[in-house]
Amino acid sequence: MINHETEVENKKAVFVDLQDVWVSYYKKWVLKSIYLKCYQGEIFGIVGPNGGGKSTLLKVILGLVRPQKGVVNLFGHKPDKHNRLEVGYLPQISKADRSFPVTVLDVVLMGLYNRLGFFKRPGNRSREVAMEMLSEINMADHAGKPFGNLSGGQQQRVHIARALASKPKLLVLDEPSTGVDSVAQEDFYELLVKFRDEMNISVIMVSHDIGVITAHADRIACLNLQIHYHGEPDPCFEPEIMQKLYGKDLNVMVHDSKCVTCFKKHEHND
Amino acid sequence: MNIMIEIFNLEFMRNAFMAGIILSPVLAVVSFFVVLRRLSFVGVGVAHSAFGGIALGFLLGISPTLTAIAFAIAVSNAIGYISRHGRLSADTAIGIFFALAMALGVIFIGMSDQYNVDLFGYLFGNILAITGEDLITIALLGGLVLISIFLLFKELLFVSFDREVALVSGIPVAFLDHFFLTILAVSVVISMKIVGIILVSALLVIPGAAASQITDRYIPMIATAIAIALISTVGGLMFSYYADLASGATIVTLSSIIFFILFIVGKFRK
């Protein structure tokens, strides 16, 4: 277990803290002895192959999966439905039905439902907040359009607006690059950085796409049942770490540090 | 015109029209969610399970409507529970309960000493059998279904749109699942007398499915679904009287014709 925690980070609030977390499904370990800390105001990337436990780790952080062993803290407490209100969540883009009869504004308003409570309908105040969020992502003109008519990248930005509408402290993203072209991806990550700076939120994102994570995260962890690497993104990954994550048939291409796709996986199909 | 006057002079036809008019908004709103949540096969299973309940009512000598509601609610919730907690898909659970409830129905009918039970009427609908008392039951339970859906509409919409996000944002997803399955069961039983057990599931799908072909926002979609349900039930009853056809089958056939017309209209609209 390598732990790179610097002096600076220790001064910031710890939003997520996992200590020696173990999770198993049907008698098979999917997470082994995970230590992880996410601080306020950072974009934290988790990479690893599919089946490596990324989604489970997110569920543990959100309190939707209880670990067999270990301690999980979300904003200093055990995750439950109360502190989960402070988390905005973005699932993989494909999960929402494209023909669903809602407008872009309706989707953003959904982000405010939990604050409204049962039986109450979103009123003018909620609409204002939702419209502000749409302006933030430059999509105010699309408010009345059917959500299903948007491109993948636009839908993802609307999901961000929905997740941030209730002003959470932490944003959790599952495979944010799925179904989005590379130009839209760039816009999307710029938005993340903007919201991190403006709202001082933290972002935890998981992806099997190493290039995307290394180009945009402040810190990264690599996950394949265990956390193999934990620290600041390095354009040159240690070959041993890459092999532990993705196996031997991996072709590492090193470009300059601005390149989005620094690492190409050799015939790595999901 | 004489035909119209003739129809409305008959008490059973008046009752049938009243039942159709009261049920139309219920069928429309429930079918809206059945289509969005892809529960049409659950509707089929729950409708058939009502048969077991009706037979039990005859065996015990109590109101078949009451036992049918109890049976349908128990089965629909069991389907929901098993598909969530067991290692079975909803599809498999429905396949099992569907057959079990029908089998129990046949056994109960065999055990009861009533030989003049109108089985055909329950299976395919018998508008002659709709009494004033039935109308009151339909109005009360139908009203209850509509009010409860109205109160929980935004949560139901959110869960149907994106289950995972709804769960993370604190919406009680499991409760809403069982709530909707209960609503579905009640709607099946109150609609049963007019079109019968075998055909009722069609009316819990077609209005919503047909409306979704020509609208892409939820309020117009529900309004269209109500109109389709009204035209189908009222028009179907009139036509069946005039042409001397089975009323339940005529209603379902008419609603299917409307579906196909709107399907084609929807294709051209895009």
Say whether pLDDT at A255 is over 90. no
Task: State residue B200's pLDDT score.
Answer: 92
Give A91's contacts in chain B (Cβ within 8 Å). Answer: 162, 164-165
Task: State residue B1's pLDDT score.
Answer: 60
Say whether pLDDT at A3 is over 50. no
pLDDT band at A262 (very low <50, low <70, confident <90, very high): very low
From A23-27, A80-84, A123-127, A225-229, the region with the lowest mean pLDDT: A225-229
Task: State residue B67's pLDDT score.
Answer: 93
Per the CB < 8 Å rule, is A84 touching B169?
yes
Per the CB < 8 Å rule, is B170 touching A85?
yes
- Look at residues B204, B200, B211 and name the one whose alpha carbon lies nearest to residue B180: B204
Compare all CA atoms of chain B with the CA of A105 and give the residue at the minimum distance.
B217
Residue A93 forms part of a structural domain? yes
Pick the more confident residue, A262 or A137: A137
Task: State residue A156's pLDDT score.
Answer: 86
pLDDT band at A238 (very low <50, low <70, confident <90, very high): low
Beta partners for A24?
A29
Residue B232 forms part of a structural domain? yes
Residue A179 forms part of a structural domain? yes
Beta partners for A206?
A46, A174
Range of the domain at B141: 2-265
What's the CATH number where A215 sits?
Answer: 3.40.50.300
Residue B174 forms part of a structural domain? yes
Residue A162 forms part of a structural domain? yes
Say whether pLDDT at A268 is over 70. no
Mean pLDDT, residues B144-171:
93
The predicted-structure confidence for B46-60, as pLDDT tens digits, reads as follows 999 999 999 999 899
Nearest to B217 among A95, A101, A114 (CB): A101
Residue B88 forms part of a structural domain? yes
Mean pLDDT, residues A238-264:
48
Per the CB < 8 Å rule, is B154 touching A166?
no
ipTM above 0.90, yes or no: no
Residue A269 forms part of a structural domain? no
Compare all CA atoms of chain A with the CA of B164 and give the residue at the minimum distance.
A91
The predicted-structure confidence for A139-156, as pLDDT tens digits, reads as follows 999 999 999 888 888 888
Say whether pLDDT at B117 is over 50. yes
Domain count within chain B: 1
Task: State residue A243's pLDDT score.
Answer: 64
Per the structure block, which two tokens stand in for B141?
Answer: 């339970």
Per the CB < 8 Å rule, is A122 touching B154?
yes
Mean pLDDT, residues A214-240:
73
Residue A63 forms part of a structural domain? yes
Say whether pLDDT at A11 is over 90. no
Residue B249 forms part of a structural domain? yes
**DSSP label of B112:** S
Tokens 């934290």 correspond to what residue? Answer: A44
Distance CA A34, CA A32 (A): 6
pTM for the full model?
0.85
Task: State residue A239's pLDDT score.
Answer: 60
Distance from CA of A127 to the nearest CA of B (A): 14
Task: State residue B10's pLDDT score.
Answer: 85
Amino acid code (one letter) for A84 = R
Residue B270 forms part of a structural domain? no
Residue B57 forms part of a structural domain? yes
What's the CATH number where B108 sits?
Answer: 1.10.3470.10
Say whether pLDDT at B239 is over 90. yes
Residue B135 forms part of a structural domain? yes
pLDDT band at B8 (very low <50, low <70, confident <90, very high): confident
Per the CB < 8 Å rule, is A107 touching B155?
no
In sequence order, which residues have a C-beta less than 8 Å from that of residue A255 and are 6 or more positions away? A261, A262
Distance from CA of B168 to the nearest CA of A (A): 7
Say whether pLDDT at A263 is over 60. no
Say whether pLDDT at B71 is over 60. yes
Mean predicted lDDT score pLDDT of chain A: 80
Range of the domain at A199: 7-246
From A96-110, A114-128, A190-204, A256-270, the region with the lowest mean pLDDT: A256-270
DSSP string, chain A: ------HHHHHSPEEEEEEEEEEEETTEEEEEEEEEEEETT-EEEEE--TTSSHHHHHHHHHTSS--SEEEEEETTB---TTGGGGEEEE--GGGS-TT-S-BHHHHHHHTTHHHH-TTPPP-HHHHHHHHHHHHHTT-GGGTTSBGGGS-HHHHHHHHHHHHHHT--SEEEEESTTTT--HHHHHHHHHHHHHHHHHH--EEEEEES-HHHHHHH-SEEEEEESEEEEEES--SS--HHHHHHHH-S--B-----TT-S---B-TT---
The predicted-structure confidence for A16-53, as pLDDT tens digits, reads as follows 999 999 999 888 888 988 888 899 999 999 988 887 88
Say whether pLDDT at A266 is over 50. no
Mean predicted lDDT score pLDDT of chain B: 91
Domain count within chain A: 1
Task: State residue A80's pLDDT score.
Answer: 86
Mean pLDDT, residues B106-116:
81
Pick the more confident residue, B128 or B181: B181
Residue A254 forms part of a structural domain? no
Mean pLDDT, residues B80-107:
86
Q: Report the percentage of chain A scoring pLDDT > 90.
A: 30
pLDDT band at A187 (very low <50, low <70, confident <90, very high): confident
From A160-164, B6-10, B37-41, the region with the lowest mean pLDDT: B6-10
Per the structure block, which two tokens stand in for A245?
Answer: 């994550």
Per the CB < 8 Å rule, is A113 touching B169?
yes
Say whether pLDDT at A193 is over 60. yes
Mean pLDDT, residues B54-75:
92
From A163-167, A232-236, A242-246, B169-173, the region with the lowest mean pLDDT: A232-236
